[in-house]
Amino acid sequence: MNKEQKNEVVELLKSKFSQYSNFYITNTESLTVEQVNNLRRVCFDKKVEMKVAKNTLIKRALESLDSEKYAGVYDALHGVTALMFSESPKEPAVIISSFRKANGKLEKPVLKAAFVGNEVYMGDNQLTTLTQIKTKNELIGDVIGLLQSPAKRVIAALLEKGKKEEAGVEAPAAE
C-alpha cells in the first residue's frame, strides 16, 4: 500500500468517525471467510457499516480528528481489527451476540472496545452491558409512557366514578 492509498483510507475512516457517533472495534481473526461474509451481510441488513483497516491507519484517522477524545480506544488497536459503525449505540453489540449464538456459541468476533456517546467501553466483558443500552427512540417511548401514566390513572378514576354515579342514579329510578 503506497502513501497515497494510505491517505485515502485515513480520509475514508475520518469521514466514518465523523459521520457516526458510535463505533465498535472488534477482532474477527480466526473466523472463516464464510463467517466473515455472513457477519457483513447481517451488518448490512441492520444498517451497520463494517470496515477492516490497519490499526496504524485507524489511529492516525482518530488522532487527526481529536486525539484526546479517542485516546481511550488506542489500546484496543492491535491484532486484526474490524470496525462497526452505527447510528444505534447497541445494534453492533446485538449483532455480535446473536452472531456468536447462531454459530455454535463462538467467542468471535471479540469486542475489543466500543465508543458510544463519547464513552469508551473496553473489553469483551462489556458486550452484555452494551446490548442493554437503550436507543433514543426507546428512551423517548419510556418518557412518553411515564408522562401518560398519571393521566391514564386520572381518566380511569373519573370513568369509574362516572359509572358508579350512573349506577347510583338509575337504581332509585327503578323503584
- The alpha carbon of 93 is separated from its chain's Cα centroid by a whole number of angstroms, namely 6
Cell representation of residue 51: 470496515
Site of grid cell 491517505: 7
Same domain, 159 and 103: no
Same domain, 94 and 161: no
Number of domains in the chain: 2
Angle, CA of 86, 89 and 94, to the nearest 5°: 85
pLDDT in tens, 6-51: 999 999 999 999 999 999 999 999 899 999 999 999 999 999 999 9
Same domain, 118 and 145: no
Cell representation of residue 7: 491517505
Cα torsion 43, 45, 47, 51: sign: positive
Closest listed residue to residue 39, CA positions, set 87, 91, 109, 104: 109
Q: For residues 64 and 34, give the distance between their C-alpha atoms in angstroms, rounded to a whole number.
A: 34
Same domain, 21 and 91: yes
Confidence of residue 175 (pLDDT cuts 50, 70, 90): very low
Same domain, 49 and 120: yes
pLDDT in tens, 61-70: 999 999 899 9
The boundaries of the domain holding residue 86 are 3-133
CATH at 105? 3.30.70.1730
Same domain, 114 and 167: no
